[in-house]
Structure 1
Amino acid sequence: MLYIFDLGNVIVDIDFSRVLGVWSDLGRVPLAMLKSRFQMGENFEQHERGEISDEQFAANLCAELDVALSYEQFTAGWQAVFVGLRPEVITLMQQLRVRGERVVILSNTNRLHCDYWPSQYPEVQQAADKLYLSQDLGMRKPEARIFQRVLQEEGVSAADAVFFDDNLENIEAARQLGITAVHVTDAQVVPDWFAHRG
């Protein structure tokens, strides 16, 4: 079997309110104002596909939020999204590989985060056979083609793949392709799913 894990809120806890908190402090803008303006729109999607640079993304987002931040301040906030590892998921990934199963990560991410999290959480890369990252592939979930690319590269049919993600839109896209998809709504979902399958 091929086991496909999303990164954020599946393997590593993330919290965007932490990002906005740092930007609020550094930009001296009320947090409530930032929260009301913050949205993951076209700028986010272009960044995750690698279509725009980190600097352009930062400039666009600061303009959307109407907050004056240096690139260094923007980056400091952007990296605050990471809360910590889910060690029980890392353990499960390692156990699957010991059993001879194939374990990969499929993440909508960006260069800024990829310059950061591997050094903070080296266990993540060590627990996976391969990383499929949106900005490297030029496509992002929930686009069908990104799932098809992973299946093709892994030489696996949809029926032989299991996908874990915290975003319902991504889950539904995977299911439409015939992939078994598990919606991860909290830290217990993945361990419980494997526990029920022995």
Structure 2
Amino acid sequence: MLYIFDMGNVLIDIDFKRVLGVWSNLSGAPLAHLIERFKMGEVFEQHERGEISDEQFAEQLCHEMGIALSFEQFSAGWQSIFIGLRPDAIAVMKSLREQGHRVVVLSNTNRLHLEHWPTHYPEIEQNADAIYLSQELGMRKPEPAIFQHVLDKEGFKAQETVFFDDVAENVNAASALGIQAILVVDSQTLPRHFSGNQIT
């Protein structure tokens, strides 16, 4: 079997409010103002596909939120999204690989975060057979093409694949291709799933 894991809020706990809190402190803008204006719109998607640079992303996002930050300040806030690793999820990945399954990561991410998580959370790469990242592939979830790309690269059919993600839209897109897709709602979703489904 092929097991595909998202990263944020599946393998690593993340929180965008932490990002906004740092930007609020650095810019002097009220947190409520940033929460109201921050959205994962077209600029966000372009960045995750690698269509715009980190600097362009920072400039455009600051413009949308009506704040002034240096690129260094923007980056400091952006990296604060990470809270910590989910050890139970890493244990599941390790167990699956030990039993002969193929385990990969598929994440919508960007260069700024690539400078952070591999160093701080090496356990992810250590327990994955491959890592597929939106910015390197030029496409992002929930686009069907990115799921098909992983299936083709890995040599598995959709019916031989299980996918875990915390975004319902991504789960629905994978399901539409015939992949068994599981919505991750909290840190215990993976342990619960595998305690009720023996890994074989």
TM over 0.5: yes
CA distance in 1: counterparts of 2:134 and 2:75, whole angstroms: 19
Partner Cα separation in structure 2 for residue 130 and residue 183 of structure 1: 21
Cα shift at 1:45? 0.3
2:161 maps to which residue?
161
**Structure 1 vs Structure 2 CA RMSD:** 0.4
Give the corresponding residue for 1:23. Answer: 23
Kindly provide the amino acid, as one letter, of the partner of residue 116 in structure 2: Y
Q: Residue deviations 1:159-192, cap 9 Å, x none? A: 0000000000000000000000000011111110
Alpha-carbon distance in structure 1 between the residues aligned to 2:195 and 2:43: 39
- Quote the Cα distance in structure 2 between the aligned partners of 1:117 and 1:69: 23
Q: Per-residue displacement from partner, 1:24-60 (whole Å, max 9, x unpaired)? A: 0000110000000000000000000000000000000
Q: Give the TM-score, by structure 1 length.
A: 0.99
SS in structure 2 opposite 1:182?
strand
Distance in 1 between residues matched to 2:134 and 2:157, nearest whole Å:
21
Instruction: Determine helix, strand or coil for the equivalent of 2:156.
Output: coil
Q: Which runs of 5+ in 2 are unaligned?
A: none
Count of residue correspondences? 198
**Deviations, residues 57-105 of structure 1 (Å, cap 9, x unaligned):** 0000000001110000000000000000000100110111111100000
Tell me the residue number matched to 1:111: 111
Paired position in structure 2 for 1:186: 186
- Corresponding residue for residue 195 of structure 1: 195
Partner amino acid for 1:48?
E
3-state SS of the aligned residue for 2:181?
A: strand
CA distance in 2, matches of 1:88, 1:32: 34
Q: Could you tell me which amino acid in structure 1 is paired with residue 63 of structure 2?
A: A
**What secondary structure does 1:43 align onto?**
helix
1:134 and 2:134 correspond: yes
Structure 1 runs (4+) greater than 2 angstroms displaced: none
Who is 2:12 aligned against? Answer: 12
Quote the residue 1:54 is aligned against.
54
- Give the corresponding residue for 1:80: 80
